[in-house]
Structure 1
Amino acid sequence: MKNTLTAMALALSATAVFAEDKVTIEFAYPYSHLFDVTYEAMMPAFQAAHPNIEVKFRATYESYEDATNTVLREAVAGNLPDVSMQGLNRQAPLVDKGIAQSLAPFIAAEADFETEGYHEAMLSLSTFDDEVYGLPFSISLPVGYYNMDILREGGITELPTTWDEVISACKTMKANGVDNPIFWGWNITGNWFVQALLWSQDKAIVEDGRVTMDSPEALVALEQMQEIFTECEMQNLEWKAALSSFSAGDVGMMFWSTSALGAVERSQGDFELVTGPFPGLDGAPMGLPAGGNAAMLTSTSEDPAVREAAWTWLKFITSGEGAAQVAMTTGYMPPNKAANEIILADFYEQNPNKQTAVDQLPLLRDWLAYPGDNGLAITQVIYDGIERIVTGDATDMQELQEELVEEIADLLPNG
């Protein structure tokens, strides 16, 4: 009996110590409809490997813009999460304001960090002044989604490679009784598709601290959007409604991020879905912006155990094992060679629709944020301008360009 009581006492003591050692960290991420299933798939392995770490999930951010605004407010209130997922184009403001913290000390302590396989090109998207401030979690590129049943009914068997071919396919579908042949993702976060049209011409939207909306390439982009919207008679759908309409089989072609592929497949109606490369203005695009997000350390805790736990979580979700779940549950590409080359060795061969974005990786360019404290306001100015094209309120693209340039200039630090 005495031995039994002693054993029980030791067990209770160990349990108490374990409970005291339990560390809770807080984590926030965007786009619940895309990523909820990803984190659900990750958690069992993480909990098994790190039973002493509890990850408390905060309310999800609606978008990357919302993620930045939320963190900026939380920084003022002193209520930041320990780890925050931020859009690749929204990292710089958080670094500049000292909200995101350098990961260099943690990386230096990892003897095998380099062998974990992070793509240098992707890691560079989170590198500022030669220090890493975020680990890329998911990378996306724009692609085309095609309802092949609708296309074949109109006699279309080849995927379009240029926007002229897309417009021709629209007209064929309209003549064949399709009410809404296309959704083109003008309203995707961060003016991403505007940047896609500029990078297609090998032109960055920000150069030397100025926004290049006054460039000839920007006018070409505006005119191309107008042609797509008007010639295809595109309906002005809110983006979630557009994804639902395509999944239901009501839209013939959708141009959006590869990120939504998992969500589309899970809700897909009875039709053949095929993805294809993002069309170009005249031939293949010369470049495309890298979408996606990175995990950033934003903890204000001075407890070394909390900070170490936050790093453990951040490292796990971007590692080979964690990143593989990104590919399996979404359409994002893992930014980790271990995931792509080892864990997912046969995955892309068996999932050709997810291979499309991987094939476009040589086109990867930076997704650029606008300079200064008014970067989000500039995003909104361009968003509002493009919506005027969609609704038909703006018909003269040169005039619209001049208006946008003037409004943006007022928001830039250098005027």
Structure 2
Amino acid sequence: MKINLKALAAGTLVAIAQLAHSADLTFWSWRVEDKAFYESVARDYRKVSGDDVKFSAYKNTEYPTVLSAALASGGGPDIIHTRAYGGLSNLADAGYLLPLTSTTVPGLAAFGPSLDGARGFKPPHDKEFHGVPFATQSLGIIYNKAVLAKAGVTEMPATWDEFKALCATLKAKGVTPLANGTRDAAVLEQVFGVVGPNFYGGTDFFSAVKMGNKTFADPGFVKAIEEVVGLKQFMPANSLGIGENESRTLFSTGMTAFFITGTWNIDTVREMNAKLDFDMVPAPPLRKGGKAWVSTFADGNYSISASSKNRAAALKFINYLASRDFGQRLINELRQTSAVPGTKADDKVLAGINSKARTDGTPFVMLVGFRYQNPNGSVLLRDGLQKLIQGQGTAQQLAQDIQTGLASWHKPFQK
């Protein structure tokens, strides 16, 4: 079958309908919470394409093992919901994913930095794309306007020191400032992603460590670690037992003023309390009027199994997933930031932080740059922060441990 690439480039369901073919496609994902959405997409896609798409979702913690086992045995789905960066590179470098180009998927030509999350790690896979990015995420501080107003605060503090002073004032009044706990190491990395860039220097620092011109023992990075650890005093008293789910509940029920998190929780908070009046902003800058960085990252990709027996139909579906029609549907129905260029968020909170990310975005340092091999940067940072919060070690020691661990495989550090 010859695929009509010009029709695919239009990226609409109508164009796809012109591609006369019928196939049964399987689509695996870890997005259990989005099952209804993807099943609805599949029903609508079938009406115009004639192709069936069976969506199967697995628990987030089980998905990597289930998927890897299936692919290693020559099985698995046609369409694979892949992670980004290191999560994708493991599959791409093993030859499990079909390389994609702007010829087979014309829409890829318009995608921006999110495509970096669709590359492999080892040559030649680092020069190839192995997926269509599906969403981008940003990190920031969600704040409850009513809680702050009750404390006499009508706007977010202008500097980081003022933010900490406000947290101390709220705590003195019996209000828990932060919803965050320390049980989930991944959440601590997210907190670092919000607070850290203003101290270590955002994108300039990220570029420098990628090139080996700076190290993670840099004083700015050490200071960022210290600031994150210092936030424990503003967390709930039982912070050791609080993970992301509990933090969502605390914030959504008005028990705390702030929730340091990512844009994926905007929709969750709305679902938990539709009447809650809240907004999302970057961490305040060190100096009034200074730069306030927003850590961003590609959240994952839609990929095709290299062993798919329905390659033409899979490419047809992937082209639809790269279209503005689908991207706008994703942002409207899931309130996630679609990676498809030209899509816009109607949700004011999401649109606001997205605007900040466009002007002051910086890579979420460990996920974007240092999760490709072991020991990976995220694990080193997460585990180290947990230990520091429990009183074990120093920020300087953690920074050096990160540097030493990453130098074992990050070649620029070996110069």
Aligned mates of 1:59, 1:227 — CA distance in 2: 37
Amino acid at match of 2:398: L
Aligned mates of 1:40, 1:160 — CA distance in 2: 43
Do 2:195 and 2:283's aligned partners in 1 also have CA atoms closer than 8 Å?
A: no
Amino acid at match of 1:374: N
Do 2:178 and 2:258's aligned partners in 1 also have CA atoms closer than 8 Å?
A: yes
> CA 1:190/1:155 → structure 2, altered by over 3 Å: closer, same or farther?
closer
Matching residue within 148, 173, 176 for 1:176: 173
Aligned mates of 2:226, 2:323 — CA distance in 1: 42
Give the alignment of 1:303-322 within 5 angstroms.
303=309, 306-322=310-326
Aligned mates of 2:188, 2:388 — CA distance in 1: 17
> CA 1:356/1:30 → structure 2, altered by over 3 Å: closer, same or farther?
farther
Query: What is the TM-score normalised by the length of structure 1?
Result: 0.77
Partner of 2:351: 355
For residue 139 of structure 1, report the CA deviation from its aligned partner. Answer: 0.9
Aligned mates of 1:336, 1:380 — CA distance in 2: 30
Do 1:190 and 1:379's aligned partners in 2 also have CA atoms closer than 8 Å?
A: no
Aligned mates of 1:37, 1:262 — CA distance in 2: 15
Amino acid at match of 2:148: L
What is the CA deviation profile of residues 318-363 of structure 1, one whole-angstrom value per residue up to 9, with x for unaligned ones? 32122112212334212223433xxxxxx53xx3112122212233
Amino acid at match of 1:387: Q
Larger Rg: 1
Do 1:22 and 1:52's aligned partners in 2 also have CA atoms closer than 8 Å?
A: yes
Is 1:131 the counterpart of 2:131 in the alignment?
Answer: no
Residue 336 of structure 2 aligns to a residue in which SS?
coil
Give the alignment of 1:42-53 within 5 angstroms.
42-53=41-52
Partner of 1:158: 155
Is 1:246 the counterpart of 2:251 in the alignment?
Answer: yes
What is the CA deviation profile of residues 276-309 of structure 1, one whole-angstrom value per residue up to 9, with x for unaligned ones? 23434443334523242211222422x2xx1122
Do 2:111 and 2:341's aligned partners in 1 also have CA atoms closer than 8 Å?
A: yes
Partner of 2:103: 108
Residue 354 of structure 1 aligns to a residue in which SS?
helix
Aligned mates of 2:281, 2:274 — CA distance in 1: 19
> CA 1:397/1:373 → structure 2, altered by over 3 Å: closer, same or farther?
closer
Query: What is the TM-score normalised by the length of structure 2?
Result: 0.77
What is the CA deviation profile of residues 63-104 of structure 1, one whole-angstrom value per residue up to 9, with x for unaligned ones? xxx655554443333333222223323323332222222112
Give the alignment of 1:1-20 within 5 angstroms.
none
Residue 216 of structure 2 aligns to a residue in which SS?
coil
Amino acid at match of 2:115: L
What is the CA deviation profile of residues 214-258 of structure 1, one whole-angstrom value per residue up to 9, with x for unaligned ones? 222320221110222235567242112212222222221111111
Do 1:260 and 1:331's aligned partners in 2 also have CA atoms closer than 8 Å?
A: no
Do 1:26 and 1:82's aligned partners in 2 also have CA atoms closer than 8 Å?
A: yes
Residue 290 of structure 1 aligns to a residue in which SS?
strand
> CA 1:371/1:175 → structure 2, altered by over 3 Å: closer, same or farther?
closer
Partner of 1:374: 374
Q: Gaps (5+ residues) in structure 1?
A: 1-20, 341-346
Cα RMSD (Å): 3.3
For residue 265 of structure 1, report the CA deviation from its aligned partner. Answer: 0.6
Matching residue within 277, 283, 287 for 1:272: 277
Do 2:388 and 2:394's aligned partners in 1 also have CA atoms closer than 8 Å?
A: no
Aligned mates of 1:371, 1:275 — CA distance in 2: 27
Residue 136 of structure 2 aligns to a residue in which SS?
strand
> CA 1:295/1:43 → structure 2, altered by over 3 Å: closer, same or farther?
same
Do 2:104 and 2:315's aligned partners in 1 also have CA atoms closer than 8 Å?
A: no
Partner of 1:78: 74
Query: Which sits farther off after the overlay, 226-235 or 259-268?
Result: 226-235
Partner of 1:32: 32
> CA 1:179/1:402 → structure 2, altered by over 3 Å: closer, same or farther?
same
Partner of 2:90: 93
| Identical amino acids, percent of aligned pairs | 16
Aligned mates of 2:220, 2:350 — CA distance in 1: 30
Is 1:394 the counterpart of 2:392 in the alignment?
Answer: yes
For residue 194 of structure 1, report the CA deviation from its aligned partner. Answer: 3.5
Aligned mates of 2:158, 2:89 — CA distance in 1: 34
Do 1:199 and 1:289's aligned partners in 2 also have CA atoms closer than 8 Å?
A: no
Query: Which sits farther off after the overlay, 236-245 or 162-171?
Result: 162-171
Is 1:329 the counterpart of 2:333 in the alignment?
Answer: yes
Aligned mates of 2:65, 2:221 — CA distance in 1: 27
Query: Which sits farther off after the overlay, 379-388 or 280-289?
Result: 280-289
Aligned mates of 2:213, 2:249 — CA distance in 1: 37
> CA 1:194/1:91 → structure 2, altered by over 3 Å: closer, same or farther?
farther
Q: Gaps (5+ residues) in structure 2?
A: 1-20, 120-124
Query: Which sits farther off after the overlay, 276-285 or 150-159?
Result: 276-285
Aligned mates of 1:251, 1:162 — CA distance in 2: 20
Aligned mates of 2:29, 2:282 — CA distance in 1: 28
Do 1:161 and 1:280's aligned partners in 2 also have CA atoms closer than 8 Å?
A: yes
Partner of 1:221: 224
For residue 48 of structure 1, report the CA deviation from its aligned partner. Answer: 1.8
For residue 406 of structure 1, report the CA deviation from its aligned partner. Answer: 4.4
